[in-house]
Amino acid sequence: MSYLIGISAAVGIALLAAAGRFDRDRSFYPTVLAVVASYYVLFAAMGGSVSAVWTEAGVMSVFLAIAVWGSRRNLWIVVVGLAAHGVFDSFHAAVAADASAPTWWPAFCLAFDVTAAAYFACLLTFGRVDARSSVPSSPTPTSGAQSND
């Protein structure tokens, strides 16, 4: 049942994002990745385990870095990050067994993340969102700029 609810939630959010055109903004799915990565930190804090909070914050930082990197370089990186977070959910208990997440959460999150990644991949494949960043990798000087030499 957790898988079905996770899939349904991801589809519902994807449809709502499409209706509001949120999913056409390059930052939407990187933000989704950042949010889903933060929940285990919340569960650890609710469980009162400082060591679990630090462990979960470390894992969250990896996914936050993927979200930022993907949003700046290529959104396919975010698709991989969402799917990877889902896969991570399947063995999360081996990494941080004391995180106090509900027993149904890993299955729900796996289904949500993989479904969201698949939907986002469809958006990129069919050109609803441009996968490549239009932001230059390094600043370029503008013509006519004055130097302070």
User: In terms of pLDDT, which residue wins out, 130 or 62?
Assistant: 62
CA torsion angle for 94, 97, 101, 102 (degrees, to 10)? Answer: 80
User: In terms of pLDDT, which residue wins out, 63 or 139?
Assistant: 63
H or E, element range at 41: helix 28-47
- Mind listing the pLDDT tens digit for each residue in 23-49? 878 889 999 999 999 999 999 999 888
- Look at the alpha carbons of 108, 110, 112, 115 in this order and tell me if their dihedral is positive or negative: negative
Task: Please name the residues in contact with 93: beta carbons below 8 A apart, sequence gap of 6 or more.
Answer: 106
- Look at the alpha carbons of 145, 147, 136, 59 in this order and tell me if their dihedral is positive or negative: negative
- The full set of domain ranges for the chain reads 2-125
Q: Which amino acid is at 42?
A: L
What does the mean pLDDT of the chain come to? 86
Q: Would you say 59 and 37 are in contact if contact means Cβ atoms under 8 Å apart?
A: yes
Q: State phi, psi for 104 to the nearest 5 degrees.
A: -85, -15
- Mind listing the pLDDT tens digit for each residue in 43-97? 999 988 898 899 899 999 999 999 999 999 999 999 999 999 999 988 887 777 6
Q: Is 1 helix (H, G, I), strand (E, B) or coil?
A: coil
Determine if the pTM surpasses 0.85.
no
Q: Is the pLDDT of residue 138 over 50?
A: yes
